[in-house]
Chain A
């Protein structure tokens, strides 16, 4: 090991946060932990931006007529909300923030396989975001985040910078995924077989496979869109001899798997947190692991369910519908295994667990309403209504965002070595949970009653539910503000965190909080990642330590 770490035997090693000061030591770092923090800051900034757009959209919908903006601005706002939230926030959210920080630690490795590629991925993220921001300044896109042709080749707004940004962000995502696959294959320590990996790694592996296989198709689709818009080659625009449904096929071939890029790592987080806070070994390890791979596989076979009403053949519709239903099987396998893990566990209702319980509840609703949308008859009625909007937010917001928040609270002590104030953490989780349901449950009803998505004005009879939804949105934002203040407060004023404050058995908790530059001073012990029985609570440090080593150091 390097001389720095061995300087004072017995003392706390210098943490990665203390290695180097100044902005250059951060933005050119090759350390996976610092890159994780860089992603944390940039992804959270995008979240705030996307949330602001969402609030503007909801405020506009307070009244049936114009409230605060004209129709064109409204179109731009919901497009920006979608594009920023999807491409800048949720897709990189858990893999790039939590994955970057935790994955090598969970493997007991010093870094990811390709640290330079990792840094390049963050830089690409920054460049892609700048393109997206430039498009907002030049002339915010009004096509919806799906950029459907032929409108996206005709509108006068800045489609090219936005799609260029999404293209670059796609490469950032591919590089992260590629790095994770190689790291998991080649940097697992001796003694950690595939089926002794923490379940978050299985989830990140499945996610990475989708990132690597699906994202290039989005890349070429957006390139073709740009070529059509700039040069006028007939690809997707029927007026030029193109085929607009081809665009939808290409787009959803990526963008349906992309929702699993968002949800799979979230499911991995749930698997970690649920076992720790139920003080019990995870139930059905191999089924949870296998269902991640099954979801990744099935994700490539269901894109056609976005085109049930776009003139697909009835045969194709039937096949896509059946395949869509089959995704419910591995998803349900996970949910039932989580419930079985909690069953007769010693449940500790700390902040991360509250967020994760919120995940299971909301994702359950989101997943079940997905079955309505996969059914060929029902979808004709609810297609392109608020029912779809609500379903999407229950799965993508109730899923990945709740899990990301849970993950941040869970790994925050490891990130920064400080504990947050438990009370305010819990308050934020509860406020967000209530606000979320008040915001989005009315939208199911609106959708069933026929309120179409993306409409600027609506009939007066929908007003009360829209008002309820908007008020819920404000309440929800308050919850997130509390969460952010709680987390930021912890960094500056928080109590010092123990190495293992929650009593988890995965390897990242065997090193100090925050970890030293090379992660581990002494080689970590490779064992069952869910064997919580071997840990005892130590009051002096307010954390857990291995029972076997009691009194030895």
Chain B
């Protein structure tokens, strides 16, 4: 299309002013973020229903997560949000070197987040805490397999240490092959209110450990989907980096950096909800 002389190259032909294009882009991005919030909203709803019905499962499950690694990742993401905000500022001021530096820093922090996640996931995988039908916990780690035979044993107080410190409790063998078809549901220890005396702490803890696979289902789906969003954000940041290196942005046109920043902050905010909901349970 031929552009009118007063039509800058970055202004699409169907917009009349750069301001109109800027506002449209911002509104579009916010609406997209709304859809993202609703996408995760379904997961948070799933979490809320299950946590309300079976709190003991979450109490038992969160013990296998490493609070310090989760906390480290929270700090990493918050710092990356700061560098992203500084990148937007640098783009607005037209400081290309600062823009490139802050985008690179944000990208590195994102890599760092995924690296820590890799360490956490590989621990889980080694301990057989994968969700669904891949849930094959090593007995000394969980104190309960899928078969409800394990006698009550004190839950591990500390997050699983690399060394196999706990002596294996009696029982809790890996289920025989073919047992996967048997129902794995252990009735909620809470039970219908008013029908039975409330269970003792020990009974609740025992029930929680038996259904702990539900927790890891939630843990892996929620952190997994969040991880995919981190990767998508990294692709966006890399794209912004290469555009910025070609000098695509200027004080009169920095909308894509701003939009990428908004997306990155959303990824950050979702983690800030995930961290306490999964790691910090009492």
Residues of A within 8 A of B (CB): 2-3, 109-111, 113-115, 117, 174, 178-179, 181-183, 185-187, 212-217, 219-221, 223-224, 227-228, 231-235, 238-241, 243, 246, 250, 518
Contacts and interface: CB of A to CB of B under 8 A. Distances in A.
A185 B36 CA distance: 21
B2 interface: yes
Interface in B15-70: 15, 20, 23-24, 27-28, 31-32, 34-36, 38-43, 45-46, 49-50, 53
Nearest to B216: A233
B43 A220 contact: yes
Given A110-B14, A246-B49, A238 B35 contact: no
B28 A113 contact: yes
Nearest to B37: A216
A234 B20 contact: no
A440 to B, nearest CB: 34
Contacts of A109: 14
A233 B217 contact: yes
Nearest to B43: A220
B243 interface: no
26 contacts: A3-B2, A110-B14, A111-B14, A178-B28, A178-B35, A181-B27, A182-B27, A186-B24, A187-B20, A213-B34, A214-B38, A216-B38, A219-B39, A224-B46, A232-B131, A234-B132, A234-B184, A234-B214, A234-B217, A235-B217, A238-B185, A240-B132, A241-B186, A241-B211, A243-B53, A246-B46
A290 B50 CA distance: 39
Q: Which of A213, A219, A233 has the most CB of B within 10 A?
A: A233
Given A182-B31, A216-B36, A240-B184, A231 B132 contact: yes
Contact of A234 (B12, B23, B185, B220): B185
Interface string B114-146: 000000000000000001111000000000000
B183 A231 contact: no
A113 B15 CA distance: 8
A222 to B, nearest CB: 10
A174 B28 CA distance: 11
A3 B35 CA distance: 41
- State the majority secondary structure of interface residues on A: helix
A234 B35 contact: no
B46 A235 contact: yes
Given A181-B31, A182-B28, A241 B1 contact: no
A221 B133 contact: no
B13 interface: yes
Contacts of A232: 131-134, 180
Contacts of B133: 231-232
A240 B185 contact: yes
B27 A185 contact: yes
Q: Which of B24, B213, B225 has the most CB of A within 10 A?
A: B24
A212 B183 contact: no
B221 interface: yes
A3 B3 CA distance: 11
A243 B188 CA distance: 12
A250 B47 CA distance: 13
Interface in B199-219: 211, 213-214, 217
Contact of B39 (A114, A220, A234, A240): A220
B24 A187 contact: yes
